[in-house]
Amino acid sequence: MTTIAAPPGISQTASALRRLYFTRFTFAIVWALVTIATAKEIGPLTVVLFVLYPLFDVGAAIYDLRSTRTTGSPALLYVNIVVSLITAAGVCVASASGIPAVLRVWGAWAIVAGLVQLIVGVTRRKMGGQWPMIISGGISVLAGGSFIAGASADNPSLTNAAGYAIPGAIFFLIAAFRLGRSAKGN
């Protein structure tokens, strides 16, 4: 069996994305566990946690932009940065109005960020390891819709919104492992 080495740009990009995906997995799991344990009500810690997640997403998108200049859709990553910054501010403002308002902001962000993730994953298919990102983006869109719908429930809760990070984390982990071949250049 003959293996064909990936072009150096793709190998370097895959390696950078692999590190990013492992970092995103770890952050999302820890964030979800802490947030699920504390998200029964809107208090200062809950607000900080719900602001921190989109801000981490901003940092991840910036790292992605700097690491993957040769692949993907940079314009979409810029959209993700802007939307995540608006979301962080939106969560701060919405928290004064209660859980339903936070769920609506969080849901809108999940929809837009999911669409961006899905499209970026599609544009990077040739690199390999992107199907988990494409699936995760689609799930994020659906989850966002459920958060917006859940805001109208009799007793809305932030627990599901916090739990939303766990499947995403698992998809990041799968994608990181799948990118291993591309990162090695074969």
Closest CA to 110 of 129, 130, 90, 131: 90
CA-based end-to-end distance of the chain? 12
Give 6's DSSP letter: P
Q: What is the pLDDT of residues 30-66, one digit of tens each?
A: 999 999 999 888 899 999 999 999 999 999 999 988 8
Amino acid at the residue 53: Y
Enter the pTM of the model.
0.85
Q: List Cα–Cα distances, 55 to 59, 94, 174, in angstroms.
A: 6, 16, 23
Domain ranges of the chain: 8-179
Q: What are the tens digits of pLDDT across the range 111-157?
A: 999 999 899 888 877 766 678 888 889 999 999 999 999 999 999 99
pLDDT of residue 6: 44
Query: CB-based burial of residue 8 (10 Å sphere; 0-12 exposed, 13-18 middle, 19+ buried)?
Result: exposed
